[in-house]
Chains A and B, each alone.
Chain A
């Protein structure tokens, strides 16, 4: 079990992480979702002992990161957000090196390097230099380097940023398979589809704070059994907003410049009302879309912003 307890980190006068707590159970795949700058990497750095927290602690199987750092590090495989490999060395040489750093040697090291190459699907090209690799292949070795010592906990920080869909699928399938085989995974991303695909329990972060935490279904309940409707206009008028707010169908309303986001449990009726009132008030509607049940909608509902802003 991995317990994150009230972690806090401040850089200058900016609080990058404020009071983050969550628990990851053995065998689980836990998602940490949030837009860029939410504080995900900072949280991961504190979990992996790379950054000391201003407050709080992390316990892994009862061992504190603050007090038993080395013991904790042996249990974890950390996949950093950037590709942290030696570009002029081959994939194989890199894996051998990182394996040694995890304390492997001899026949065991060789066996694990071969296995990991198999897992990430690069056995054929293991002898090529990393700087000759495509972005996706680099990402795969970047993950592989954290798997060598068969860690109980795999901690991944945006492992699919900037790669082609094929490599991305390969990585997602690999993580799913590792998790199925019993590895506990913490998966960080700003792609909600990935987190949704992999993880059962999810924490959503924004501006350093945890804004939601729970199983997928629990998070969807923020949407109150309903749907979000996003209306982009050429210009909003006060009168129209007042009318929207009065509607019985509207459960929540968020206004961002010329965009209005409404939550409802009766989308058809609401769409009709929105269009009718807009015509009355001579509001020009440019886009109207319906956001179904997904984490993007949850995030939108909670923050009024899109994950990718």
Chain B
């Protein structure tokens, strides 16, 4: 089978790329460690002893991210009892209400908050404290910081991967700055403890923050392989090896299937390594029935490889594929729940998430972790296989025609 030889060749080329390996194999583990540990939850235990607070809010931005913070995080069902939130239409009014003692603390979300956040820049959310109610101020501050840190960390990760892994060599600087930010995130974690873990699960067991982020990172990092797989085809076109393949007695279909299998194999290899590593290093449980997790990993890798083929048939150059990776993966990860758990999202966004393959994969992993039967997973398998098959068909059909 020539398709297998092509797939094997592709795998070999990927495994030879040292920096790429660092980012695809090590990075998700590091990120899981940081997100899982630094932000692991003590909120539920701390919640019992929390005082009731009157909090004021001025949201100058009114964007998706700021609304999530205001409505979903601060008004999370466990917090609602303690935090009484009131929104003000200007900073002045908010300040006055604190001076008057009407509110214990105030939060000001500046304009441009979400843009900076997703660009990995630092943003200042101002927390105003009433001098006599400093505890409330601290709690609010840590909640806000935890949320902001988490979004920034993931936004950074996607940027770094997009810059370093996918783009041309020489992006070392961004990797370094990312590592620095991670270190800082680790230091901050002392006072930014929080847990947004799944509100409810289908199964019997609850899912830990570590498990959540392990699954989230696995899913997010695999998504990059769609772009990588597409780039590998575009790269062969640029290098002339694709033309050369077409001068050999190799069927076009074998070439396409080979490229698809290459991405699939690499993805399977990557996620297996990640699952094993997170289990060995952090004792992350991927569910009681590991076969279920493995099946999800496989069908998701299938979908990812299918998307790679479709992308290759649509995107013209490797540069545009990079740009797509830059924000595309970020938006998908955001929508699919890899940045902040989906339950904090408004209904509309949760519905949009249904169109992202990573949402289904993440949801599937979480289901397995909370312990479900095979039949509960059929929908997940079906959707991921359907995504894989349809994108693969579109890709092969469009590429065959060229």
Q: Given A73-B249, A102-B248, verify A86-B241 contact (CB < 8 Å).
A: yes
A80 touches B239 (CB 8 A): no
Most chain A C-beta atoms within 10 Å of own C-beta, residue among B2, B12, B247: B247
B247 touches A73 (CB 8 A): yes
Closest to B249 in A: A73
B17 touches A76 (CB 8 A): no
B5 touches A101 (CB 8 A): yes
Chain B residues with Cβ under 8 A from A98's Cβ? Answer: 244, 248
Complex CA–CA separation, A98 to B9 (angstroms): 10
B244 touches A84 (CB 8 A): yes
Q: Given A70-B249, A88-B17, A102-B248, verify A50-B5 contact (CB < 8 Å).
A: no
Complex CA–CA separation, A93 to B10 (angstroms): 12
Complex CA–CA separation, A2 to B244 (angstroms): 20
Jot down 19 A-B pairs with beta carbons below 8 A, ordered by A.
A50-B243, A74-B249, A76-B247, A78-B244, A78-B247, A80-B240, A80-B243, A80-B247, A82-B239, A85-B241, A88-B16, A93-B12, A97-B5, A101-B2, A101-B5, A101-B6, A101-B245, A101-B248, A102-B248
A103 touches B249 (CB 8 A): yes
Q: From the candidates A80, A86, A145, name the one contacting B13 in the complex (CB within 8 A).
A: A86
Residue B246, interface by CB 8 Å: yes
A88 touches B241 (CB 8 A): no
B239 touches A89 (CB 8 A): no
Would you give the shortest CB distance from B169 to chain A, in whole angstroms?
12
Complex CA–CA separation, A89 to B240 (angstroms): 15
Complex CA–CA separation, A87 to B169 (angstroms): 15
Closest to B9 in A: A97
Complex CA–CA separation, A78 to B240 (angstroms): 12
Residue B250, interface by CB 8 Å: yes
Chain A residues with Cβ under 8 A from B239's Cβ? Answer: 82, 84-87
Complex CA–CA separation, A102 to B2 (angstroms): 9
Residue A83, interface by CB 8 Å: yes
Would you give the shortest CB distance from B400 to chain A, in whole angstroms?
14
Chain A residues with Cβ under 8 A from B241's Cβ? Answer: 84-86
Residue ranges of B at the interface with A (Cβ–Cβ < 8 Å)? 2, 5-6, 9, 12-13, 16-17, 239-241, 243-251
Complex CA–CA separation, A35 to B9 (angstroms): 37
Complex CA–CA separation, A83 to B240 (angstroms): 7
Chain B residues with Cβ under 8 A from A70's Cβ? Answer: 249, 251
A100 touches B2 (CB 8 A): yes
Closest to A74 in B: B249
Chain B residues with Cβ under 8 A from A83's Cβ? Answer: 240
Would you give the shortest CB distance from B399 to chain A, in whole angstroms?
15
Residue A36, interface by CB 8 Å: no
Closest to A72 in B: B249
Chain A residues with Cβ under 8 A from B6's Cβ? Answer: 101
Complex CA–CA separation, A179 to B16 (angstroms): 38
B248 touches A86 (CB 8 A): no
Residue A226, interface by CB 8 Å: no
Chain B residues with Cβ under 8 A from A277's Cβ? Answer: none
Closest to A93 in B: B12
A82 touches B248 (CB 8 A): no
Would you give the shortest CB distance from B306 to chain A, in whole angstroms?
24
Residue A214, interface by CB 8 Å: no
Would you give the shortest CB distance from A85 to chain B, in whole angstroms?
7
Residue A3, interface by CB 8 Å: no
Complex CA–CA separation, A76 to B248 (angstroms): 8
Complex CA–CA separation, A93 to B241 (angstroms): 14
Residue A49, interface by CB 8 Å: yes
Residue A265, interface by CB 8 Å: no
Complex CA–CA separation, A101 to B244 (angstroms): 10
| 8 Å CB interface, A175-234 against B | none
Q: From the candidates B5, B9, B250, name the one contacting A86 in the complex (CB within 8 A).
A: B9
Would you give the shortest CB distance from B110 to chain A, in whole angstroms?
46
Residue A48, interface by CB 8 Å: yes
Pairs A-B, 6 closest by C-beta atoms? A84-B240, A84-B244, A78-B247, A101-B248, A73-B249, A100-B5
Chain A residues with Cβ under 8 A from B2's Cβ? Answer: 100-101, 103
Would you give the shortest CB distance from B192 to chain A, in whole angstroms?
42
Chain B residues with Cβ under 8 A from A78's Cβ? Answer: 244, 247
Complex CA–CA separation, A6 to B239 (angstroms): 30
A50 touches B247 (CB 8 A): yes
Would you give the shortest CB distance from B355 to chain A, in whole angstroms?
36
| 8 Å CB interface, A65-123 against B | 70, 73-74, 76, 78, 80, 82-89, 93, 97-98, 100-103
